[in-house]
Amino acid sequence: MTKKYDALVIGGGHNGLVCAFYLARAGLKVRVLERRHVVGGAAVTEEFHPGFRNSTASYTVSLLRPKVIADMKLHDRGFRIIERTISNFFPFENDYLKLGGGQTQAEFARFSKKDADSFPAYEAALERVAQVMRDLALKAPPNVGGGLPSLLAAASQGKRLAGMSIEAQRDVLDLFVKSARDFLDGWYENDCVKTAFAFDAVVGNYAGVSTPGSAYVLLHHVFGEVNGKYGAWGHSVGGMGAITQAMAAACIDAGVEISLDTPVAKVLVDGGRAAGVRLESGEELAAGILAANVGPAMLYRQMVDPSDLDGDFRRRMDGFKTGSGTFRMNVALSELPDFSVLRGKDKAEHHTAGIIIAPGMDYMDQAFDDARAFGWSKKPIVEMKLPTTVDDSLAPPGMHIASLFCQQFAPELPGGRSWDDHREEVADLIVDTVNDHAPNFKASVIARQIHSPLDLERKFGLIGGDIFHGRMSLDQLWAARPVLGHGDYRAPIKGLYMCGSGTHPGGGVTGAPGHNAAHAILADRSLIGRWLRRA
């Protein structure tokens, strides 16, 4: 082996960068090894057509932890988030619904007076639980069998949960075990109102709104904040890549070495301890600490030699569920969409929102059922964002871009078919679906970039195209993410850690797994940490 480091980070996604930053800040010699020509992983800005740039995968911000933003001084490095004027716009067949911007209750009243009255209590209930999630996001879950530190973590986190009111504890139970439909049925009567919330439950979740556990994914999408406003989502000026470029600058200032176009092939283990990595080029690098930003499915199925893992762990990682069922397109547009239910091609507040085509609870369940039977639905769920309505740096003057984020597309097509043979036809269907609601849309498309689930895997290294590095189901959450006994970022090989979205608190641009993994690594190096882990 030629070069030696204190720590190597496998992958330069945002969590890899966050982890590297904290390690370097603590004085470690750190190198980030990134497969692509750009850092950021799923949070990047790229030119997808000459003159048109966009956040090519993830596209909207909320979950990024304020502590990470402050510690990395991201605001000083160009990080700026623009809040949405209204959060979401739902075109239905003959009507629409606007959410946010202080209009939600009045909008609900057009559909149901009773639901409008229920809204403040619903919002307060969700916020109570979201606040606990916020508190726990930057804490390592207690580890089963993890000794004294885990008992202390269990006691402190258990106290936080036990300190909640009985009403809030009931809400926690509901959100963790119920389907979004059952959960929302307990609050609302009108289908359009329920749809406005249920959509969050199927984002990155290959499930229907009636699938038990889907209520949790709804909650996952509201624990964030923008500029101090809880639950809000916003646009990163310059796209998501502006965030990760700022993170990379923070890393470099802290002394991190970042290597692009440097894919890792293997994790090297010596005497049961992590010893370094072998690059695809054949070069070997040595380090006693390895932090894997790649997901558990890639780490344990492709990078770690099976003989370095015990049989039970290997079997469970082979069964780790991936595949969020998402299809992602970027399109260049000559003009803004003109919606049949709310006319106008000039920029209006609904153009700045998340525009969601998912008209009804049954529509969303049907999309999932169709995807399981056929691979995708003839009536797909589409969220459209038009970033150029708030950030004109992304397209030539007068032109626009749209992010199309579509749910319920089978990770693997039934009948042995390949996404490579169907991606264009599905892209046409998605464009047609938007066109059904905004009849000028199809003719305004100048160019399009398509990411089927298979494209997401190939391009971003997301196994099964999973946007979260693994299902956000109850069996793969908190202390059980990725598996019970290793929820505290420590892999079963000494010196190997996990710092990506396949660990608590899961997917999204949060920075939390990177932050928490770095703290686990630093704790293991400290005298007290070593003593505690032996106790």
Ligand X SMILES: Cc1cc2nc3c(=O)[nH]c(=O)nc-3n(C[C@H](O)[C@H](O)[C@H](O)COP(=O)(O)OP(=O)(O)OC[C@H]3O[C@@H](n4cnc5c(N)ncnc54)[C@H](O)[C@@H]3O)c2cc1C
> What does the binding site for ligand X look like in residue numbers (CB under 6 A)?
10-16, 33-36, 41-43, 57-60, 63, 263-264, 293-294, 326, 328, 405, 456, 460-462, 467-468, 500-501, 507-509
Residue 193 or 371: which CB sits closer to ligand X? Answer: 371
Encoded tokens for 386: 């038009």
- Neighbour-count burial for 393-409, b at 16+ CB within 10 Å, e otherwise: ebbeeebbbbbbbbbbb
- Quick check: 309 and 300 in contact, CB under 8 A? yes
Residues near 44 by beta carbon (within 8 Å), at least 6 away in sequence: 38, 55, 56, 57, 239, 240, 241, 244
Q: Find residue 33's DSSP bridge partners.
A: 10, 259
**CA–CA dist 127, 247 (Å, integer):** 29
Q: Least distance (Å) from ligand X to the CB of residue 13? A: 2
Q: Least distance (Å) from ligand X to the CB of residue 154? A: 25
**CA–CA dist 300, 10 (Å, integer):** 13
Q: Least distance (Å) from ligand X to the CB of residue 54? A: 11
Q: Least distance (Å) from ligand X to the CB of residue 62? A: 6
Q: Least distance (Å) from ligand X to the CB of residue 221? A: 9
Residue type, 137: A
Q: Least distance (Å) from ligand X to the CB of residue 297? A: 11
Residue 263 or 288: which CB sits closer to ligand X? Answer: 263
Residue 99 or 116: which CB sits closer to ligand X? Answer: 99
Q: Least distance (Å) from ligand X to the CB of residue 88? A: 13
Residue 55 or 195: which CB sits closer to ligand X? Answer: 55
Provide the pairing of β-strand 52-55 with 229-230: unpaired
Cα torsion 496, 530, 480, 185 to 10°: value is -130
**CA–CA dist 303, 299 (Å, integer):** 5
Residue 43 or 126: which CB sits closer to ligand X? Answer: 43
Q: Residue 414 class from Cβ within 10 Å (0-12 exposed, 13-18 middle, 19+ buried)?
A: exposed
SS3 46: strand
Q: Least distance (Å) from ligand X to the CB of residue 112? A: 30
Residue 10 or 358: which CB sits closer to ligand X? Answer: 10
Encoded tokens for 438: 């905004």
Q: Least distance (Å) from ligand X to the CB of residue 462? A: 6
**CA–CA dist 395, 47 (Å, integer):** 10
- CA-nearest of 7, 535, 45 to 256 is 7
Residue 53 or 181: which CB sits closer to ligand X? Answer: 53
CA angle 165, 167, 172 (to 5 degrees): 95
Residue 301 or 533: which CB sits closer to ligand X? Answer: 301
Residue 171 or 383: which CB sits closer to ligand X? Answer: 383
Residue 19 or 28: which CB sits closer to ligand X? Answer: 19
Residue 290 or 309: which CB sits closer to ligand X? Answer: 290
- CA-nearest of 128, 178, 137 to 157 is 137
- Quick check: 155 and 259 in contact, CB under 8 A? no
Q: Least distance (Å) from ligand X to the CB of residue 405? A: 6
Q: Least distance (Å) from ligand X to the CB of residue 110? A: 29
CA 353 to chain centre: 19
Q: Residue 420 class from Cβ within 10 Å (0-12 exposed, 13-18 middle, 19+ buried)?
A: exposed
The DSSP secondary-structure symbol of 84 reads: P
Q: Residue 329 class from Cβ within 10 Å (0-12 exposed, 13-18 middle, 19+ buried)?
A: buried
SS3 462: coil
